[in-house]
Amino acid sequence: MHYRRTRLLQRVFTGIPQPAGHIGCDKSQFKISFTGRELAFATYHENAAGLGTRAAVYVRNALRLDVNCDRIYGARGTNYDPGLIDEFGDKIFWSEFGSGIYWELGEVYVHCGAIEKISSYGVGGRQPPGNTVTANLWLNADFIENHIYMNGGADAAGHVGTYNWRSWLVAKEILEGISYFDYGRHYLTVQKINLQSVPMSFKGAAQVWMTAQKITNTVAGVGYWRRRATAAVRSFTQT
């Protein structure tokens, strides 16, 4: 769990109009509940390439994580380097690149009014290749501005994921399509999806149950359907 990193970020950016911060958890025995008005996305990068958190809500594993907030948003183009390092000698900086929510394993519940513009995914899910552990993401939001991507855990080495890696998404409006790849089961209920920049994508062995009142499709198309993907679209009105 990243209590120390969160405190460091908050201390470093004291006095900045939108201080950086995040919620991070990577231990299966941890149980965390958070309620607040806003989560401003912050990337904490260590010196080694590829390390560090990359989301406002970053979960590699958790017994249970509950997040309730009004909005999640990005740094809006800011890349701030305070020139400081933490007690491990790792550099700290605030960067735009990252997701609103990143999830691998664990039981995660997020209630959020809006997940606003952010440079990477509004929601990104990645099942570890070869995973056999049950994991669930429940997300309820009024508005999600960015693309959502769910990677179900298959890779070129022949690893596959489990169908017990599941997501439930309920939203009023999503401004870009959703990609469901490989394994996992996903349940989507939305009033409106706007596909003008990113289509819906279904690939591999993913199983998706989708209920939509309206799908707006003027540029990108409804999406592409790949072999072995299972998608059940219960109802929608396309314009």
Please tell me which of 14-28, 34-48, 93-107 the model is most confident about, judged by mean pLDDT.
Answer: 93-107
Residue 97 in this model has a pLDDT that exceeds 60: yes
Is the separation of the CB atoms in 216 and 190 below 8 Å?
Answer: no
Residue 75 has pLDDT above 50, yes or no: yes
**Inter-residue contact 169 to 124 (CB < 8 Å):** no
- Please tell me the predicted confidence (pLDDT) of residue 225: 41
Residue 103: closest CA among 122, 130, 80, 116: 122
45 or 75, higher pLDDT: 75
Where on the phi/psi map is residue 218: left (φ > 0), alpha (ψ -120 to 50), or beta? alpha
How many angstroms separate the Cα of 76 from the Cα of each of 62, 72, 104?
Answer: 29, 12, 25
Mean pLDDT of 73-79: 63
Please, which residues have CB within 8 angstroms of residue 163's CB and are 6 or more apart in sequence? Answer: 183, 184, 185, 207
Evaluate if residue 154 carries a pLDDT over 70.
yes
- Residue 122: pLDDT above 80? yes
What whole-number distance in Å separates Cα of residue 182 and Cα of residue 160? 8
Comparing 34-48, 143-157, 209-223, the range with the smallest average pLDDT is: 34-48
Contacts of 87 (CB under 8 A, 6+ apart): none
Q: Note whether 101 and 57 are within 8 A (CB).
A: yes
Q: Cα(184)–Cα(171) distance, rounded to whole angstroms?
A: 20
- Of 1-10, 12-21, 79-88, 130-139, where does the model show the most confidence? 130-139
Q: Say how far residue 187 (Cα) sits from the centre of its chain.
A: 15
d(CA 120, CA 145): 11
Q: Contact 204/180 with Cβ under 8 angstroms?
A: no
Strand boundaries in 104-218, DSSP class E: 107-115, 123-126, 135-144, 148-151, 165-174, 178-181, 185-194, 200-203, 207-216
